[in-house]
């Protein structure tokens, strides 16, 4: 940390991001382009603030963990069942995309004058698209849940799997000695069968750990009550999985995705999401900056025509193949343009694969520099293409969101968020469930979470007063927030947070006592319930019955009391804060009037003026009892 | 053969009831009778339909005893009819649960007997006012017995005033229990 270089680079990266990203966003270009521009700006060819290729590739390495975290988070939102439903698209569409794009781009490269085998390799490398760019851009524009967005996601997932054989094939194509091949990837130390075995073992251990070990770990950490350690555990988990996966030659992002899917049904899901979200954003930003910084401007300026032609050739070929796939797979209307415009670029794995291919002597330095350049340029073109596409495609692509939501795996939404699932909340929750509503339940007591889940409830570990947790619980889409927390201050905090950030949410809340209740009403919360009123009035009703009051009059008395109590609170709330003495005067008066109020009930025993059903005691013919 | 009687008593304010309470107390002496106070059981109107249906199945004579409120029964009796006599159970397709049973209504009116005729102030007989109950029973395949009516409850103040009515009531109920048929209502 004492290394001044660290502060300097941090300063440069953060400043560049802070300046360029908001501008890009304001111009409607999206954050990705802003980061890329920031990278170009601080890169060696413009300001030269970040140095040569070695340091920027190191940054790139750190930054890649942004993609890993992102896929972990995407995994968290996908349950296994949802993934299973995607299998057709994943294998059919994903496989066809890789095969078609790879072959055709390969032939293109061959025609461009590259030897056939290498040309095909280049074709397949270029067939990969950028998970980071596509998903970040689609999310930013809320297009990820549309049909086109889902097709893109499935394809990207398949590509992440396809990287494995590509990495394995590389050394086989190498013309140089085997020793050079050896150090490109740790996994290549193993034979093919051994590597296959290692991959299976790694995935199995992630799945098993996710299912059996991690819930224990999280509940242990959560019980310690240290929020930052929970965050640290989450980061450690994702990075460890990433590390394990790259050790066996699997894409770290894919491993993180698998772990995410396994943990999707864990109660800690929302907490994990809330904790990792900011890291994802920052690391992805760093990743985009380093892509920008690694762009070889000199090469582009030296041969603008050649690069432009190459780029145009690549983009047109890949785009046409993608569009053809959209037709072939009978995409919903509007999905094909979105799929094409979002997926046409080269992916981040291309940088890795091209550099390895160069080390292995498959490609010349000049070739790999050119291909790297067109991949980076095509990435930068993506947000622009989507921006342009939105303007000239007649129905804006998001109009297909509504009719085609059926298999929307990334979405989960309940109209109700229930904060607190203790002695109070579990009554609310069970009542809601009895009528078929499944609230998103948030609870901070880890032990409680486990117990309740064992009883078959979907409860999530998370502090509902945290904005990120509310976001993760879907507060922006929910209609109601039910607060069943016992602590007065926490209730107030949650009310304030919800009203500030989610003004559309209707709040139903528990109040700890009369004063608290009046305060909440005064703040404009409409549905405030004294936490003990219900039980106390039940006890009172029973007492009346035991004293000889018949059941129906006793019931009416309790209900009338309840109504009177609620009305009193509503009337008193505005006075409570203004004038304490007036408040107590009114309370005294109300209590004094209570008896006469109840005597007037038609069922009241002592009521002299009971006029319903029964004549007083005059023998004259009464109107009611005929 | 002895027939089992289910007496459903509905009075929202039993503490203010005089004649009805007297009648229902008298009925307690009938052997094997089941007496249920609906307003005590369901002060919140949450009628337990399953329990009520099961009781109906277990009895042969159903007695609805209540004051005559607004030419009809107290509200809970209507709620009871609405919820318990379900389609497919009490009537309609497959609704044969009550077939062959009898329904007796036992009502107390404030008005004297004379006001319940076409020339009287109420312009109709009690039987006419009870027509919805009668037709309900018929639709469920039950025999609707001639109702037991106590008129002019305001005049019945002393034990001596009430005794003849409770005696008549008990005779009627024990006759029904031992299988002596009343003339079914004309």
Buried b (16+ CB within 10 A) or exposed e, A502-538: beebbbbbbbbebebbbbbbbeebeebbbbebeeebe
A106 inside domain? yes
Q: A157 and A29 share a domain? A: yes
A33 inside domain? yes
Which pLDDT score is estimated for B16? Answer: 84
Please identify among residues 18-47 of chain A the ones whose CB lies closer than 8 Å to any CB of chain B: none
Which pLDDT score is estimated for A150? Answer: 84
The whole-angstrom distance between A541's CA and the closest CA on chain B is 11
Which pLDDT score is estimated for A612? Answer: 60
Q: Is A614 on the interface with B (CB under 8 A)?
A: yes
Q: A380 and A460 share a domain? A: no
Please identify among residues 526-585 of chain A the ones whose CB lies closer than 8 Å to any CB of chain B: 548-556
Q: A332 and A422 share a domain? A: no
Which pLDDT score is estimated for A6? Answer: 73
Split at pLDDT 50, 70, 90, the class of A302 is confident
Q: What is the pLDDT of residues A141-172, one digit of tens each?
A: 777 777 888 889 889 888 877 877 787 777 77
Q: A211 and A80 share a domain? A: yes
A407 inside domain? no
Q: A364 and A439 share a domain? A: no
Helical packing angle, A348-359 and A147-173, nearest 10°: 10
Q: A473 and A380 share a domain? A: no
Q: Which of A190-199, A563-572, B140-149, B177-186 has the highest mean pLDDT?
A: B140-149
A375 inside domain? yes
Q: A371 and A479 share a domain? A: no
Mean pLDDT in chain B?
A: 93
For residue A621, give the nearest of B14, B39, B110 by CB distance. B110
Which pLDDT score is estimated for B185? Answer: 59
A610 pLDDT more than 60:
no
A72 inside domain? yes
Q: How many domains is chain B built from? A: 1
Q: Is B106 on the interface with A (CB under 8 A)?
A: no
Name the percent of chain B lying above pLDDT 90.
86
Let me know if A621 is exposed, middle or buried by CB neighbors in 10 A (0-12, 13-18, 19+). Answer: middle
Q: A420 and A297 share a domain? A: no
B185 inside domain? no
Which pLDDT score is estimated for A52? Answer: 53
Mean pLDDT of A266-275: 80
Q: Is A609 on the interface with B (CB under 8 A)?
A: no
Cβ-Cβ contacts under 8 Å, B154 against chain A: 615, 618-622
Split at pLDDT 50, 70, 90, the class of B65 is very high
Q: What is the pLDDT of residues A204-225, one digit of tens each?
A: 888 888 888 887 888 888 777 7
The number of C-beta contacts closer than 8 angstroms across A and B is: 71
- ipTM, two decimals: 0.83
Which DSSP state fits A186? Answer: G
Q: How many domains is chain A built from? A: 2
For residue B43, give the nearest of A554, A614, A626 by CB distance. A554
Q: A453 is written with which tokens?
A: 């889940």
For residue A626, give the nearest of B12, B43, B68 by CB distance. B68
| Domain span including residue A36 | 14-48+57-392
A244 pLDDT more than 80:
yes
Tell me the C-alpha distance between A401 and A389, whole Å.
16
A503 pLDDT more than 80:
yes
The whole-angstrom distance between B52's CA and the closest CA on chain A is 18
Nearest to B154 by CA among B144, B146, B162, B142: B162
Which pLDDT score is estimated for A604? Answer: 72
A3 inside domain? no
Cβ-Cβ contacts under 8 Å, A605 against chain B: 13, 15-16
The whole-angstrom distance between B11's CA and the closest CA on chain A is 9
Which pLDDT score is estimated for A167? Answer: 75
Q: Which of A56-70, A422-436, B36-50 has the highest mean pLDDT?
A: B36-50
Q: A447 and A568 share a domain? A: yes
A187 pLDDT more than 50:
no
Split at pLDDT 50, 70, 90, the class of A411 is very low
A621 inside domain? no
A396 pLDDT more than 70:
no
Task: Say which CATH number the domain at A376 has.
Answer: 1.20.1530.20
Helix%, strand%, coil% for chain A, nearest 5: 70, 5, 25
Q: A221 is written with which tokens?
A: 């950490």
Interface contact A550-B13, CB threshold 8 A: yes
Mean pLDDT of A256-273: 80
Cβ-Cβ contacts under 8 Å, A603 against chain B: 12-13
Which pLDDT score is estimated for A626? Answer: 61
The whole-angstrom distance between B104's CA and the closest CA on chain A is 19
Cβ-Cβ contacts under 8 Å, A614 against chain B: 13, 16-17, 67
Interface contact A626-B155, CB threshold 8 A: no
Q: Is B109 on the interface with A (CB under 8 A)?
A: yes
Nearest to A185 by CA among A375, A362, A352, A366: A352
Of A214-223, A374-383, A478-487, B158-167, least confident by mean pLDDT is A214-223
B11 inside domain? yes
Of A492-501, A528-537, A572-581, least confident by mean pLDDT is A572-581
Which pLDDT score is estimated for A51? Answer: 61
Tell me the C-alpha distance between B103 and B105, whole Å.
7
For residue A551, give the nearest of B39, B69, B71 by CB distance. B39
Q: Is B120 on the interface with A (CB under 8 A)?
A: no
The tally of CA atoms less than 13 A away on the side-chain side of residue B4 is 10
Which pLDDT score is estimated for A613? Answer: 57
The whole-angstrom distance between A255's CA and the closest CA on chain B is 56
Count of CB atoms situated within 10 Å of the CB of A27: 11
Which pLDDT score is estimated for A58? Answer: 65
Residue where one domain finishes, among candidates A360, A392, A424: A392
B132 inside domain? yes
| Domain span including residue B38 | 5-177
A69 pLDDT more than 70:
yes
Q: A280 and A350 share a domain? A: yes
Q: Which residue of A has its CA nearest to B113?
A: A626
Which pLDDT score is estimated for B63? Answer: 98
Task: Say which CATH number the domain at B86 has.
Answer: 3.40.50.360
Residue where one domain finishes, among candidates A376, A392, A408: A392
Nearest to A326 by CA among A309, A311, A343: A343
Q: Is B115 on the interface with A (CB under 8 A)?
A: yes
Q: A436 and A357 share a domain? A: no
Contact indicator for A368, A153 with CB cutoff of 8 Å: no
Interface contact A553-B13, CB threshold 8 A: yes
A397 pLDDT more than 60:
no
Interface contact A552-B109, CB threshold 8 A: no
Q: A409 is written with which tokens?
A: 């795996």
A608 inside domain? no
Q: What is the maximum span of chain A, computed from C-alpha positions, in angstroms? A: 120
A186 pLDDT more than 50:
no
Split at pLDDT 50, 70, 90, the class of A605 is low
Which pLDDT score is estimated for A3? Answer: 59
Mean pLDDT of A449-478: 82
Task: Say which CATH number the domain at A581 has.
Answer: 3.40.50.720
Tell me the C-alpha distance between A311 and A228, whole Å.
45
Mean pLDDT of A561-569: 89
The whole-angstrom distance between B137's CA and the closest CA on chain A is 23
Which pLDDT score is estimated for A607? Answer: 52
Q: Is B122 on the interface with A (CB under 8 A)?
A: yes
């Amino acid at each position: 940390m004492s290394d001044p270089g660290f502060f300097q680079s941090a300063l440069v990266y953060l400043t560049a991001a802070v300046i360029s990203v908001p501008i890009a966003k304001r111009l409607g270009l999206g954050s990705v382009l802003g980061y890329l521009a920031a990278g170009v700006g601080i890169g060696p060819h413009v300001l030269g603030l970040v140095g040569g290729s070695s340091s920027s590739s190191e940054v790139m390495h750190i930054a890649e963990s942004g993609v890993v975290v992102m896929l972990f988070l995407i995994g968290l939102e996908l349950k296994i069942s949802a993934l299973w439903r995607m299998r057709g698209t994943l294998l059919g569409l994903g496989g066809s995309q890789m095969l078609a794009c790879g072959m055709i781009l390969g032939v293109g490269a061959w025609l461009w004058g590259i030897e056939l085998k290498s040309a095909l390799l280049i074709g397949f490398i270029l067939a990969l698209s950028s998970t980071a760019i596509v998903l970040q851009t689609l999310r930013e524009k809320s297009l990820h849940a549309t049909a086109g967005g889902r097709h893109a996601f499935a394809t990207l997932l398949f590509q992440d799997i396809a990287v494995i054989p590509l990495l394995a094939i590389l050394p086989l194509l190498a013309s140089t000695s085997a020793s050079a091949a050896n150090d490109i990837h740790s996994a290549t130390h193993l034979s093919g069968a051994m590597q296959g075995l290692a991959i299976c073992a790694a995935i199995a251990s992630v799945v098993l750990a996710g299912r059996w070990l991690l819930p224990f770990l999280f509940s242990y950490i959560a019980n310690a009550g240290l929020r930052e350690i929970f965050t640290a555990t989450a980061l450690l988990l994702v990075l460890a999985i990433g590390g394990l996966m790259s050790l066996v030659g699997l894409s770290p992002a894919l491993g993180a995705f698998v772990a995410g899917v396994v943990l999707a049904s864990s109660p800690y899901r929302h907490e994990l999401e809330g904790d990792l979200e900011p890291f994802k954003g920052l690391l992805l930003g760093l990743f985009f900056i380093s892509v920008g910084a690694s762009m070889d401007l000199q090469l582009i300026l030296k041969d603008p025509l050649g690069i432009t032609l190459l780029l145009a050739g690549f983009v047109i070929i890949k785009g046409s193949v993608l569009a053809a796939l959209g037709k072939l797979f009978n995409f919903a209307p509007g999905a094909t343009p979105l799929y094409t415009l979002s997926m046409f670029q080269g992916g981040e794995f291309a940088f890795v694969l091209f550099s390895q291919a160069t080390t292995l002597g498959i490609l010349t330095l000049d070739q790999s520099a050119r291909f790297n350049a067109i991949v980076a340029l095509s990435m930068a073109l993506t947000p622009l293409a989507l921006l342009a596409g939105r303007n000239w495609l007649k129905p804006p692509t998001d109009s297909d969101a509504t009719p085609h939501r059926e298999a929307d795996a990334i979405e989960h939404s309940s109209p109700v968020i229930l904060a607190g699932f203790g002695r109070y909340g579990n009554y609310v929750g069970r009542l809601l469930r009895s009528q078929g509503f499944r609230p998103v339940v948030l609870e901070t007591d880890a032990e409680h979470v486990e117990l309740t889940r064992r009883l078959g409830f979907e409860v999530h570990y998370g502090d509902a007063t945290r904005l990120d947790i509310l976001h993760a619980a879907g507060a922006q889409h929910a209609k109601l927030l039910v607060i069943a927390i016992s602590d007065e201050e926490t209730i107030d905090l949650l009310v304030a947070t919800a009203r500030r950030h989610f003004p559309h949410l209707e709040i139903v809340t528990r109040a700890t006592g009369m004063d608290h209740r009046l305060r909440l009403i005064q703040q404009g919360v409409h549905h405030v319930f004294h936490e003990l009123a219900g039980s106390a009035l039940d006890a009172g009703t029973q007492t009346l019955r035991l004293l000889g009051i018949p059941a129906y009059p006793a019931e009416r008395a309790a209900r009338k009391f309840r109504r009177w109590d609620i009305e009193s609170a509503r009337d008193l709330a505005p006075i409570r804060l203004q004038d304490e003495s007036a408040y107590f005067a009114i309370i005294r008066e109300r209590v004094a009037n209570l008896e006469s109020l109840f005597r007037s009930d038609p069922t009241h025993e002592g009521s002299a003026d009971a006029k319903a059903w029964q004549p007083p005691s005059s023998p004259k013919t009464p109107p009611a009892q005929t | 053969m002895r027939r089992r009687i289910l007496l459903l008593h509905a009075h929202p304010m039993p503490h203010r009831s005089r004649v009805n309470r007297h009648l229902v107390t008298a009925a307690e002496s009938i052997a094997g009778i089941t007496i249920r106070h609906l307003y005590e059981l369901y002060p919140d109107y949450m009628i337990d339909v399953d329990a009520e249906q099961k009781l109906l199945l277990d009895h042969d004579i159903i007695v609805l005893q209540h004051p005559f409120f607004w030419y009809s029964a107290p509200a809970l009796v209507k709620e009871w009819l609405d919820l318990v006599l379900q389609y497919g159970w009490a009537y309609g397709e497959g609704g044969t649960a009550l077939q062959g049973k009898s329904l007796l209504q036992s009502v107390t009116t404030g008005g004297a007997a004379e006001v319940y005729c076409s020339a009287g102030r109420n312009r109709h007989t009690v039987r006419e006012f009870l027509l919805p109950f009668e037709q309900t029973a018929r639709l469920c395949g039950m025999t609707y017995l001639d109702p037991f009516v106590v008129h002019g409850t305001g005049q019945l103040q002393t034990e001596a005033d009430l005794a003849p009515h409770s005696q008549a009531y008990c005779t009627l109920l024990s006759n029904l229990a031992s299988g002596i048929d009343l003339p079914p209502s004309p």
